């Protein structure tokens, strides 16, 4: 029976490359010359700790980071910017969580959207992925097309297409 998996993954190496390219680019920019700039990546928790001198530089840094990550193949929705930057002495700090893996409630939303779609497929939750199976590959491709229109605020990837 044909099947595929819906996942939400971020490649750790691509994220590391995006952070390194951002740091290098901003260290060469004229408006960041001589200013404090620090981006730390916690690879285990997929968390970025960012420090700059003021909020304007923080916004610029985040814009450059998201654009460089997008060029590395990381969707902008993968960055959780819900925490506001906070002042810590002379520096502005912000913690940015990178969403890696499907949470249980997101997986349940995906299964519900698939069932509401009316296609003849079955969806099941396996840890941090949703497996979709059906009798025809055309039905599976219809699920992929429908999922691109869903507004879940998380990046989705499709892998392990088997026929």
Q: How confident is the model at residue 72 (pLDDT cuts 50, 70, 90)?
A: very high
| 1-45 pLDDT tens trace | 899 999 989 999 999 999 999 999 998 988 888 888 999 999 999
Q: What phi and psi values does residue 6 have, to the nearest 5 degrees?
A: -105, 120
Alpha-carbon gap, residue 93 to 69, rounded angstroms: 20
| 108-132 pLDDT tens trace | 999 999 998 888 999 999 988 999 9
Burial (CB count <10 Å: 0-12, 13-18, 19+), residue 6: buried
Strand partners, 39: 50
pLDDT at 96 over 90: yes
Asked whether 49 and 40 are in contact (CB, 8 A), the reply is yes
Asked whether 8 and 154 are in contact (CB, 8 A), the reply is yes
Residues 6+ apart with CB under 8 A from 33: none
Residue ranges of the alpha helices (H) in 72-136?
Answer: 104-116
């Amino acid at each position: 029976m044909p099947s595929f998996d819906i996942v939400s993954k971020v490649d750790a190496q691509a994220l590391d490359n995006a952070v390194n390219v951002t740091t290098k680019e901003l260290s060469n920019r004229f408006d960041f010359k001589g200013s404090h700039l620090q981006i730390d990546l916690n690879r285990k928790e997929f968390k970025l700790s960012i420090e700059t001198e003021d909020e304007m530089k923080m916004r610029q840094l985040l814009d450059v980071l998201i654009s460089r990550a997008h060029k590395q193949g990381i969707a902008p929705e993968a960055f959780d910017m819900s925490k506001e930057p906070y002042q810590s002495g002379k520096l502005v700090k912000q913690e940015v969580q990178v969403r890696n893996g499907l949470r249980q409630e997101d997986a349940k939303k995906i299964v519900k959207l698939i069932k509401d779609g009316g296609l003849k497929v079955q969806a099941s939750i396996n840890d941090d992925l949703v497996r979709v199976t059906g009798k025809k590959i055309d039905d599976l491709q219809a699920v992929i097309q429908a999922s691109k229109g869903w507004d879940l605020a998380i990046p989705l990837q499709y892998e392990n297409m088997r026929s």
